[in-house]
Structure 1
Amino acid sequence: MEDFHWTKLFNPEFYITMEVGGIPIGIYMVLFIVFAETGLFAGFFLPGDSLLFLSGIYSRELVQTFFFLPSDFSNVTILSLLIAAAATLGNTFGYWFGSRSGQFLYKKEDSFFFKKKYLIESQLFFEKHGGKAIIYARFLPIVRTFVPIIAGIVHMKKTKFMFYNILSSLMWSFFLVFAGHYLYGMFLDQFNIDLKKHIEKIILILIAVTTFPLVMKAIRSKKSNTNTAA
């Protein structure tokens, strides 16, 4: 880590290829980040969608930390299931935290790791979409961190929450991990383009795509407030 710079903390490839004493720990970092981003309100700034997409590209290297599988499909499937499990546990912890002590967050002062506006926006999102908000939130940065906490605060029925929790975790992980893996193969085979050499561009594109709905929502909300004031 001689050339380490703090900006690498926002680069998902940094975690995926991380080693300690020559031992690869990328899979552990991926699973921890998925858990933290979906279960700890301080994890909203961590890479989510881009991490899963790139994990699909590095699926063989990540899974081989545990065991060797010659089949690409098996590697991607197992990786997706592991990530889905981490995401499910993360949401479950967020729900538990919200049900036990979430109310104090509304009185908590803003800090680098916590912004009250995100909590309020997630509450409005949850109130609008109900249980399906848990599925929608999986694909929205920041919102996916706070929605399970909101579900716990309002004491959403546990069986209903777990149904949407597991379903959304599987949809999110399988879609992004499989997309990363097979798009990588398609670009390499058909266009001779190695996506691993264009990681920064991929991250920027994914950030733009995943944050677009939030930006449009903010713009519509601003216009609505302006019209109301007028």
Structure 2
Amino acid sequence: MTTTYLALLPGWLSPENLITNMGAWAVLGIMLIIFAECGILLGFFLPGDTLLFVSGLFIASGAININLGLFIALVSLAAFVGNMVGYWIGYKIGPPVFNRPNAKLLKREYIEKSAAFFEKYGKITIVLARFVPVVRTVATVMAGASKMNAKIYTLYSAIGGVLWIASVTIAGYFLGQIGFIRENLDLIVIAAVVIVICASAFPAVAHWVVRRREKRAAAEGGAPVPPVVEQPATD
């Protein structure tokens, strides 16, 4: 198999190397990596997307001997548990960290803005964040620190996890068998990430645009209206 490495990753982090080195423990290792990326801030650098894609490719080729559906179920469970751990880490540790006096970087206002954001866009954010590297690691902790409703978070975390794991793994299972895609995996993943980031950022950008228009309209509405000068009637 000649899958190319993602250019931004060192060799030891390449999905192909990781899976090959884990041998018979590959599925468990993949579950632990996905768990860490979804739930522990230090796991933000792990290659979740490419790992899932290459896993699908390995399952298709028989290099990983497991049923595709079972693999998706197990790894989705790991992603869900990871997100719940990240949420409760943020829930318990976030407020004390952001409430420190004279904080220059981790200010309370950031939590307040985050809470307002999750209140309005939390559901779609939790789902889409799954598809964006780094964001999926940070968003779950910020959701907890912002005290997002736990029931809503749990539901949409599960939905997002299954959609992410299933779509990327199945894509690897079927598309990875196509030579062009297999040989250009790094470029395709980068392009996919850019597309997902743009899609994820759209609600926030749209909100910003709407707010700008509302402020502009309010400013114009509050401006003094010039008096109307009546023109003399003409015969």
Q: After TM superposition, is the score higher than 0.5?
A: yes
Structure 2 residue aligned with 1:165 = 157
Query: Contact 2:128–2:200 (CA<8 Å) still a contact in 1?
Result: no
Structure 2 residue aligned with 1:38 = 38
- Can you list the C-alpha shifts for 1:4-30, whole angstroms capped at 9, x where unaligned? xx81244222212224xxx43322221
- Can you list the C-alpha shifts for 1:146-190, whole angstroms capped at 9, x where unaligned? 2221222232232222111111111111111111111124x2xxx
Percent identical among aligned pairs is 30
Q: TM-score, normalised by structure 1?
A: 0.68
Letter in 2 for 1:59: I
CA positional deviation for 1:125: 5.5
Instruction: Give ranges in structure 2 of 5+ residues lacking alignment.
Output: 1-8, 207-235
Structure 1 residue aligned with 2:225 = none
Instruction: Give ranges in structure 1 of 5+ residues lacking alignment.
Output: 1-5, 70-74, 111-117, 188-192, 221-230
Alignment partner of 2:46: what SS?
coil
Letter in 1 for 2:118: F
Structure 2 residue aligned with 1:113 = none
Classify 1:28/1:122 alpha carbon distance in 2 versus 1 (closer, same or farther; 3 Å). Answer: farther
Query: Contact 2:129–2:135 (CA<8 Å) still a contact in 1?
Result: yes
Query: Contact 1:99–1:154 (CA<8 Å) still a contact in 2?
Result: yes
Structure 2 residue aligned with 1:12 = 15
Larger mean CA deviation between 211-220 and 32-41 belongs to: 211-220
Classify 1:33/1:135 alpha carbon distance in 2 versus 1 (closer, same or farther; 3 Å). Answer: same
Alignment partner of 2:10: what SS?
helix
Structural mapping, 1:51-200, within 5 Å: 51-60=51-60, 61=62, 63-64=64-65, 75-106=67-98, 126-185=118-177, 187=178, 193=179, 195-200=181-186
Structure 2 residue aligned with 1:226 = none
Letter in 1 for 2:93: S
Classify 1:203/1:119 alpha carbon distance in 2 versus 1 (closer, same or farther; 3 Å). Answer: farther
Larger Rg: 2
Structure 2 residue aligned with 1:29 = 29
Larger mean CA deviation between 145-154 and 168-177 belongs to: 145-154
Classify 1:205/1:63 alpha carbon distance in 2 versus 1 (closer, same or farther; 3 Å). Answer: same
Classify 1:132/1:201 alpha carbon distance in 2 versus 1 (closer, same or farther; 3 Å). Answer: closer
CA positional deviation for 1:130: 2.0
Q: TM-score, normalised by structure 2?
A: 0.67
Structure 2 residue aligned with 1:115 = none
Alignment partner of 1:46: what SS?
coil
Alignment partner of 2:133: what SS?
coil
